[in-house]
Amino acid sequence: DARVTQTPRHKVTEMGQEVTMRCQPILGHNTVFWYRQTMMQGLELLAYFRNRAPLDDSGMPKDRFSAEMPDATLATLKIQPSEPRDSAVYFCASGFVGLAGYNEQFFGPGTRLTVL
Amino acid sequence: QKEVEQNSGPLSVPEGAIASLNCTYSDRGSQSFFWYRQYSGKSPELIMSIYSNGDKEDGRFTAQLNKASQYVSLLIRDSQPSDSATYLCAVNILRSSNTGKLIFGQGTTLQVKP
């Protein structure tokens, strides 16, 4: 049963601390997305990768957020330093985009981040 | 105008009724369309994909696409209390068609009352 996995599932930290979230996409998928969801803003796209190369990270506050994909089985999202306004659920999603353009995305369980 | 718009609801229907969820999009060249279901505290789950005009049925779910009118809808027949969730419409707009990027609506909350 292929699934996107994310760790940690919950994270409580203090303002100013570094937070690292990890995602393992579904094997064979070539595109990975990072989203943030809050009640006020809904689902926001932060960054995404194709074949491990960043395609767009314009949705991220670049001064504190960074996203990388060190290998095909791991994507990371880091926040340094974290702020209370970063409190949200962060989702990773993966999909396969080929020549036909079909692009279903499958979401991981999310990391619920609370910054005190 | 938002790129993908949904009525936030809540949409309340009695058990056994048909629930109709609607979504409009602004980019006429949009290529592919998706419905996700999200239970409270859970992640979005893909339930329907549709790429061509017309209807696509999967069990109690029917997705309808009308590209000329730029809307996509989701019908849920014989609604059950377990269908109570937020339904997100997602569209792969033309300018992002080769990247896989989806634009999500704000979601419609469905309540099915026993």
Are B98 and A48 a contacting pair at CB < 8 A? no
Share of chain A above pLDDT 90, in %: 79
* Mean pLDDT computed over every residue of chain B: 93
Six-digit token string for B67:
């590209």
Looking at the predicted structure, is the pLDDT value of residue A101 above 90? no
> For residues B44 and B37, is the Cβ–Cβ distance under 8 A?
yes
* pLDDT value at residue B95: 63
With helix as H, strand as E and coil as C, how does A52-102 read? CEEEECCCCCCCCEEEEEEECCEEEEEECCCCHHHCEEEEEEEECCCCCCC
**pLDDT grade for A47, boundaries at 50, 70 and 90:** very high
Are B46 and A106 a contacting pair at CB < 8 A? yes
Are A42 and B32 a contacting pair at CB < 8 A? no
Distance CA A52, CA B64 (A): 34
Looking at the predicted structure, is the pLDDT value of residue A42 above 70? yes
CA B38-B39-B43 angle, 5° bins: 55
Q: Is B26 exposed, middle or buried (0-12, 13-18, 19+ CB in 10 A)?
A: middle
* Mean pLDDT computed over every residue of chain A: 93
* Nearest-by-CA chain A residue for B39: A109
Q: Is B114 exposed, middle or buried (0-12, 13-18, 19+ CB in 10 A)?
A: exposed
* pLDDT value at residue A2: 87
* pLDDT value at residue A100: 64
Using DSSP's 3-state secondary structure scheme, residue B81 falls into helix
Q: Measure CB to CB from residue B31 to each of A56, A91, A101 and give the nearest one.
A: A101
Work out the average pLDDT over B40-62: 96
**Chain A residues with CB inside 8 Å of B107's CB?**
42
Distance CA A73, CA A103 (A): 19
Mutate to test the interface with A, among B94, B102, B103, B109 (most CBs of A within 10 A): B102
B57-70 pLDDT, tens digit each: 999 999 999 999 99
A69-98 pLDDT, tens digit each: 999 999 999 999 999 999 999 999 999 887
A86 — phi, psi (to 5°)?
-80, -5
Are A104 and B43 a contacting pair at CB < 8 A? no
Tell me chain A's radius of gyration from C-alpha atoms.
14
B3-32 pLDDT, tens digit each: 999 998 899 999 999 999 999 999 888 889
Whose CA is closest to A32, among A66, A67, A64? A67
Are A43 and B104 a contacting pair at CB < 8 A? yes
* pLDDT value at residue B99: 74
